Structure 1
Amino acid sequence: MTSRREIVGNQFNSFISILQKNKKILWLLIIIITLLWGYAWVLMKASLEYMGPFTFSSFRFGVGSVTLLLVVWLLKIGLPAKKHWKHLIIVGFLQTTVVFLLVMYGLRFVDAGKSSVLLYSMPLWSTILATKYLGEKITPAKLSGLLIGMVGLLAILGWDIWKEPNIKMIFGEFLIIISSVSWAVANVYYRIKLQSLPKLQVNAYQMFFGTIGIVIATLFMEWGKPIALNVHSIYYILFTGILASALCFTVWFLILSLIDMATATISTLLVPMFGLLFSSLILGEKMSIGVITGSILIIVGIVVAQLPKNKPRHR
């Protein structure tokens, strides 16, 4: 008899075959995933009405980790070798623990849409770090993109400092920028130490180890604080944990195997665009001139930095 895991594996391979043959379905999936990730920012912000930021992250990534490990088991990916565990713990700390503790705490003071833009400035920091630690060259396109993106960040921060100097909001913005840098460091560290492993396996186990860090921080910082578990808060946890964190990442890593990295990086820019849109429509957040200008510059900067080098023509 065919086992359940074999059935799931066969269905997964059939799904890959469909995506390889039909690019329209592939791009539809990219739009759906980035749309869901953009919407998740609204739920992350709204969750703060019901529990502390660290508590929500513990619930979210606890549920997400269990779901993702189940996917890894069903797909017969298996356990990583013990020699990789130390590196997975480090990536989990940088990419899950640090990023989402700082992001969720920063969301207490910063609008959801603006937060999504600041976090997704990550490719700019990755470009800088890749130059130093991966030996990648700074091309004119990358340099131009970096400068444009940095001007975008300054536009957002500078506008807030000049127009409405709210210390808590500016502090929250810096926390989210630090989380963006941490995400970039995790990406570079992954490239150096873990690139040989399956991406889905890396994400599952780094999320698991990162979740342990979040739970420890929650126990120290928010133990005994009120938690309101109701229809709304449970929906926020399940949506962001199962759908946005686990299943979307499963499909995203599948997509990464079918498209080039530059296209994938540019595609993720849809996330802050959807984040700004949903935050404005659902939460009623107002987009200042600084946020609009800065967002456009950051997105343009990342696109320019990812432009492929012109190949020499053969005569």
Structure 2
Amino acid sequence: MSRTSSSAPPPAPGAAPGAPAPALAYGLFALTVLIWGSNWPIMKIGLTMIPAFWFAFLRVFLGCLALFAVLAAVGSLRLPKRSDLPVILSVGMLQIAAFLLIINLAVPVVGAGRSAILAYTTPLWVVPGALLLLGERLRPLKTLGLLAGLLGVAILFNPMAFDWADTAQLRGNALLMLASLAWAVAILHVRSRRWQGSPLELAPWQLLVAMPPLLAGALFFHPDWRPPARWDLALLLLHNGVLATGFCYWAAFTVTRALPAMSTSLGFLGVPVVGVLSSAVIVQEALTLSVIAGLLAILLGVTLVNLSDLRRNRRRR
């Protein structure tokens, strides 16, 4: 799950000072995409053992501890500036707490692969929001991207592939669209503000902000739940919290400083691809024609939107 790139300023076209060598950066990049993508079916398995609120809280808690430890070890841990507080709050509440909770509620019903696809439609919903709220222009490339992405969504929801009479499926898919919209709102808020801390420096504070509402919900809805003493559950939580959250937040920031913006912007689109393929392998979800076609169309749409944003950023620089 890529969470840092959307709230980060445009990365430089070349490597930043202190960034790892390109070969190491590409290896780290591939590992990040693999971990985030394969985490979708792992989440589906985990949600059979842990309630949604508790799963989201434990993931954020472990990821927060890991990031605070990493930043303290490298000497980059510092209190955020007051001007960064609105960004910390919006990302923490919408892009982390709301997004994670909503997908946790949806994945058991919808499936991991389809969830990964719909969750990554977020850039498509940013386009009309930026047009209406930020005054951005709807350029031809971005228009084509939006149309291609909407075509992909239509393919996934066509009556021949989707049972519109299944209320559980309708509710689960609606939740996933709501999750992507929450992420889009956070992106729009971040774009509208000036902020000083780097995405990595702000990330643990954003995770910290996300914990209280998740813990409150967990205690309210499942006050008596206790984690069973199982080694597979412990490994699953370590994967979600330490690897997919703490490690991948750091890794994503590191590779965006080391690699060209084009590589990272398009490379992170491999996450839903890995999510769909790993879901077919790990939890035996069907690779239907509609899933493949919808995935390809949405990836094309997001690619065109990202290319349009990269061109705009180059002109600004």
TM-score > 0.5 by shorter chain = yes
Does the CA-based 8 Å contact 1:141-1:306 persist in structure 2? no
Q: Counterpart of 2:174?
A: 174
1:241-256 equivalent positions in 2, closer than 5 A: 241-256=241-256
Tell me the distance in 1 between the aligned counterparts of 2:160 and 2:172: 12
RMSD (Å), alpha carbons: 2.3
Does the CA-based 8 Å contact 2:61-2:211 persist in structure 1? yes
Q: What is the CA-CA distance between 1:44 and the residue it aligns to?
A: 0.6
TM-score (norm 2): 0.86
Tell me the distance in 1 between the aligned counterparts of 2:245 and 2:228: 22
Q: Deviations over 1:18-58 (max 9, x none)?
A: 63xx4333222211100010111111100122121111111
Q: Does 1:275 align with 2:267?
A: no
Q: Counterpart of 1:6?
A: none
Q: Counterpart of 2:53?
A: 54
Letter in 2 for 1:97: A
Letter in 1 for 2:40: W
Q: What is the CA-CA distance between 1:292 and the residue it aligns to?
A: 1.3
- Change over 3 Å in CA distance of 1:260–1:18 after alignment to 2: closer
Does the CA-based 8 Å contact 1:95-1:210 persist in structure 2? no
Q: Deviations over 1:222-241 (max 9, x none)?
A: 22246434111111111110
1:27-46 equivalent positions in 2, closer than 5 A: 27-46=26-45
Q: Counterpart of 1:197?
A: 197
Q: Does 1:90 align with 2:96?
A: no
Tell me the distance in 1 between the aligned counterparts of 2:97 and 2:223: 17
Q: Counterpart of 1:72?
A: 71
Q: Counterpart of 1:125?
A: 125
Q: Counterpart of 1:4?
A: none
- Change over 3 Å in CA distance of 1:164–1:284 after alignment to 2: farther
Tell me the distance in 2 between the aligned counterparts of 1:254 and 1:18: 7
- Change over 3 Å in CA distance of 1:16–1:172 after alignment to 2: farther
Deviates more, 1:74-83 or 1:255-264: 255-264
Tell me the distance in 2 between the aligned counterparts of 1:274 and 1:140: 29
Tell me the distance in 1 between the aligned counterparts of 2:164 and 2:176: 18
Aligned length, in residue pairs = 295
Q: What is the CA-CA distance between 1:60 and the residue it aligns to?
A: 1.1
Does the CA-based 8 Å contact 2:84-2:195 persist in structure 1? no
Letter in 2 for 1:69: F
1:130-279 equivalent positions in 2, closer than 5 A: 130-159=130-159, 162-163=162-163, 165-193=165-193, 195-225=195-225, 227-279=227-279
TM-score (norm 1): 0.86
Tell me the distance in 1 between the aligned counterparts of 2:94 and 2:160: 28
Deviates more, 1:143-152 or 1:195-204: 195-204
Q: Which has the higher contact order (CA 8 A, sep 6+)?
A: 2
Q: What is the CA-CA distance between 1:69 and the residue it aligns to?
A: 1.6
Does the CA-based 8 Å contact 1:160-1:170 persist in structure 2? no
1:295-314 equivalent positions in 2, closer than 5 A: 295-308=295-308, 309=311
Tell me the distance in 1 between the aligned counterparts of 2:210 and 2:161: 33
Q: Gapped runs of 5+ residues in structure 1? A: 1-14, 311-315
Q: Gapped runs of 5+ residues in structure 2? A: 1-15, 313-317
Letter in 1 for 2:59: R
Computing the radius of gyration over CA atoms, which structure comes out larger, 1 or 2?
A: 1
